[in-house]
């Protein structure tokens, strides 16, 4: 019998020692990072005290907004509640500052989320209604200067245009909502068109640590068909000339800005451009039409500036939960009805987020244990039967590939080995992998949650910083990603012995491909959410333990070999439908090949 290619007991001890060393390294970096964090926090406290002293004399409600405008009447009116702080500019009568009070943005200096989370600020957003007058010229409300009248958490902005009156009435509500009512009087005397253009220019500011990851999740989202249909666009121009949009959103990784018109936007067009570096991620431009009634614009709008929290999004009953990119079809269902409830349940026990992920991994492994056991048992049987397979390859070395494959399948069939049984666990892992790929970077409950040296489980850890930039890896190495890559390599070494090598020239070496895969996985994980890397580290470490337990305590390869030899003496098991179909296809292909060879005239 061929020697087993798995790990022996000495290698088992080596794996245990390696695990202890790896954990020790993790704790070392954790303590090192904690000390650095204490120093940074002390520096930040000093800076905050100085800033507070410098800002103490600034007015609270009304301030000059833009000194470049040649007027002293430009002001900013503040509205504030528990959730939002708004600044409304008299220039254009538009929201110029929007802060989410209960959240913080990522700060590159301190490497944690401690900056104000400002969705609108520093003129990164500009919107208004554009009209065409009777001379064919256009004017936009964002160029007008409005006069404010504040009443509690409501403010009325009014502007006069050649005898017409335009009013914007903002009212700050709960649940991250701002009522935005537009009223005009006398506009019919100025305009000749029966529609207005809503124009919104927006530049998305980076709020999270992982720039490339957040940039990927920053995109147009919109609903139509009376809120029942949803679509998004993250790369190209957005063109919806026929649909009436119930709402339009510019979504980032964890937060979204949504505007909802009472009668919908028609003939919508938008575009977006990547910004390669700096404070901002993407530049957006949107244009949609609003119908005028008797050439007057009297319509209610709503702005929403909200975190992408699934229960909150569902509570609006406007299909906002589609803003959370949990995956399509079965993938989204798996996240909504399995992973999110499981995460919420375990989190309710009050344990750290990293250990929540650890327990989630254990639960998934327990659920998959029956099929995983079958897979590893099949692997053991494949190792035992390898000498017979090698014998077939040697015997039919000069035969055609079809004949060799038939004889190989005959050996498996006589031994009672079903090769297709090993495919099931792999197929089950695919939707789970993609669901978690969507889960970890978009779960707001994980945002800012630290574990060991990872300060945010929704972003990469970068304790190991590089003095140069490497394509795809960038300027850091993630310890979680490296640890995950190592355990995948160990798992590959343990299972690669079961891979049959190609016997024909030109066929790829599957073992080489299997070893390359973990290395390429490092490039993917290095800039991904550290929670995902941690999950796959634990998952593959458990796979290794399962193989060792099955090999040394559950399966006896001598008994398996005896069972296979006994199976050979019995009548072969009845073929399954799939096996029968494969055999018939091979036989038919072989007959066709022989017929073609007979019809081909021999060269003289």
Assigned domain for 21 exists: no
Cα diameter, the chain: 105
| Section 250-267 average pLDDT | 95
* Residue 295 shares a structural domain with residue 377: no
* Residue 287 shares a structural domain with residue 419: no
Assigned domain for 252 exists: yes
Whole-angstrom distance, CA of residue 439 vs CA of residue 523: 20
Please write the tens of the pLDDT for every residue from 175-219: 999 999 999 999 988 888 889 999 999 999 999 998 888 998 999
* Residue 418 shares a structural domain with residue 270: no
* Residue 298 shares a structural domain with residue 357: no
3-state DSSP call for residue 73?
Answer: coil
Assigned domain for 576 exists: no
340-347 and 353-395 helices cross at what angle (nearest 10)?
A: 130
3-state DSSP call for residue 22?
Answer: helix
Assigned domain for 10 exists: no
* Residue 446 shares a structural domain with residue 363: yes
Supply the range of the domain harboring residue 111.
74-325
The 3-class SS string of 489-557 reads HHHHHHHHHHCCCCCCCCCCCHHHHHHHHHHHHHHHHCCCCHHHHHHHHHHHHHHHHHHHHHHHHHCCH
Assigned domain for 207 exists: yes
Please write the tens of the pLDDT for every residue from 566-577: 766 665 555 555
* Residue 278 shares a structural domain with residue 373: no
* Residue 141 shares a structural domain with residue 182: yes
HSE-up (13 A, CA, CB side) for residue 539:
23
Q: Are 451 and 457 in contact (CB under 8 A)?
A: yes
Assigned domain for 562 exists: yes
Please write the tens of the pLDDT for every residue from 38-60: 554 444 444 433 443 343 333 22
The pLDDT of residue 64 is above 60:
no
* Residue 170 shares a structural domain with residue 215: yes
* Residue 409 shares a structural domain with residue 510: yes
Assigned domain for 33 exists: no
The pLDDT of residue 416 is above 70:
no
Rg of the chain over all Cα atoms, to the nearest angstrom: 32
Q: Which of 212, 209, 106 is nearest to 524 (CA)?
A: 212
Whole-angstrom distance, CA of residue 385 vs CA of residue 173: 71
Element (H, E) at 412: helix 401-415
Residues 6+ apart with CB under 8 A from 487: 537, 540, 541, 544
- Number of folded domains in the chain? 2
Element (H, E) at 369: helix 353-395
Assigned domain for 601 exists: no
Strand blocks (E) in 145-279: 147-151, 154-161, 164-172, 177-185, 195-205, 219-224, 229-233, 238-240, 245-251, 255-261, 266-274
| Section 463-484 average pLDDT | 83
CATH code assigned at 255:
2.70.98.90
Pairing assessment for the beta strands 154-161 and 84-89 based on DSSP bridges: unpaired
> What Å distances lie between residue 600 and 126, 263, 590, 594, 596, CA to CA?
75, 73, 15, 10, 6
3-state DSSP call for residue 389?
Answer: helix
Of 277, 296, 325, which closes a domain? 325
Residues 6+ apart with CB under 8 A from 458: 208, 210, 253, 254, 440, 441, 442, 443, 446, 447, 448, 449, 529, 530, 531
* Residue 90 shares a structural domain with residue 144: yes
Model pTM score = 0.76
Q: Which of 64-68, 171-175, 338-342, 564-568 has the lowest mean pLDDT?
A: 64-68
* Residue 321 shares a structural domain with residue 343: no
* Residue 316 shares a structural domain with residue 426: no
């Amino acid at each position: 019998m061929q020697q087993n290619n798995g790990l022996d007991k000495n290698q088992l001890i080596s794996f245990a020692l390696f695990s202890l060393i790896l954990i020790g390294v993790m704790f070392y970096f954790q303590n090192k990072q904690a000390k650095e964090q204490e120093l940074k926090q002390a520096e930040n406290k000093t800076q905050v005290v100085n800033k507070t002293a410098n800002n103490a004399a600034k007015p609270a409600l009304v301030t000059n907004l833009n000194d470049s405008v040649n007027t002293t009447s430009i002001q900013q009116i503040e509205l504030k509640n528990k959730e939002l702080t708004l600044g409304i500019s008299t220039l254009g009568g538009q929201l110029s500052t929007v802060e989410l009070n209960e959240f913080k943005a990522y700060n590159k200096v301190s490497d944690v989320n401690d900056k104000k989370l400002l969705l609108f600020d520093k003129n990164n957003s500009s919107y208004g209604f554009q009209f065409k007058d009777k001379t064919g010229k256009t004017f936009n409300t964002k160029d007008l200067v409005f006069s404010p009248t504040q009443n509690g958490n409501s403010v009325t902005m009014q502007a006069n245009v050649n005898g017409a009156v335009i009013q914007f009435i903002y009212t700050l509500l709960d649940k991250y909502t701002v009522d935005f009512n537009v009223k005009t009087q006398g506009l019919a005397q100025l305009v000749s068109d029966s529609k207005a253009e809503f124009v919104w220019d927006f530049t998305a500011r980076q709020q999270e640590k992982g720039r490339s990851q957040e940039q990927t999740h920053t995109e147009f989202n919109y609903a139509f068909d009376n809120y029942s249909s949803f679509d998004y666009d993250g790369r190209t121009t957005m063109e919806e000339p026929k649909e009436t949009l119930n709402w339009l959103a510019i979504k980032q990784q964890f937060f979204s800005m949504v505007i909802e018109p009472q009668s919908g936007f028609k003939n919508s067009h938008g575009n977006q451009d990547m910004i390669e570096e700096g404070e901002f991620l993407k530049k957006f431009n949107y244009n949609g039409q609003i119908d005028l009634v008797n050439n007057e614009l009297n319509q209610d709008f709503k702005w929403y500036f909200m975190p992408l929290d699934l229960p909150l999004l569902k509570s609006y009953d406007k299909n906002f939960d589609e803003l959370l990119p949990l995956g399509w079809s079965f993938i989204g269902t798996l996240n909504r009805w399995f992973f999110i409830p499981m995460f919420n349940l375990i989190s309710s026990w009050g344990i750290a987020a990293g250990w929540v992920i650890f327990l989630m991994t254990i639960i998934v492994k327990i659920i998959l244990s029956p099929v995983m056991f079958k897979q590893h048992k099949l692997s053991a049987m494949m190792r035992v039967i390898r000498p017979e397979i090698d014998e077939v390859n040697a015997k039919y070395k000069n035969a055609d590939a079809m004949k060799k494959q038939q004889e190989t399948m005959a050996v498996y069939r006589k031994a009672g080995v079903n090769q297709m049984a090993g495919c099931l666990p792999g197929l089950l892992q695919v939707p789970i992998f993609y669901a978690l790929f969507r889960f970890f970077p978009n779960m707001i409950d994980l945002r800012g949650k630290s574990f060991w040296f990872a300060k945010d489980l929704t972003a990469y850890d970068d304790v190991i910083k590089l003095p140069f930039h490497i394509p795809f890896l960038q300027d850091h190495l993630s310890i979680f990603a490296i640890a995950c890559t190592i355990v995948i390599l160990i798992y590959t070494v343990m299972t690669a012995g079961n891979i049959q090598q190609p016997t024909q020239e030109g066929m790829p070496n599957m073992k080489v491909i299997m070893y390359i895969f973990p290395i390429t996985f490092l490039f993917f994980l290095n800039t991904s959410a550290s929670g995902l890397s941690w999950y796959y580290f634990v998952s593959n470490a458990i796979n290794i333990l399962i193989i060792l337990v099955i090999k040394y305590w559950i399966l006896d390869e001598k008994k398996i070999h005896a069972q296979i030899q006994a199976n050979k003496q019995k009548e072969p098991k009845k073929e399954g439908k799939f096996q029968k179909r494969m055999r018939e296809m091979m036989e038919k292909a072989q007959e066709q090949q022989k017929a073609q060879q007979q019809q081909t005239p021999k060269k003289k």
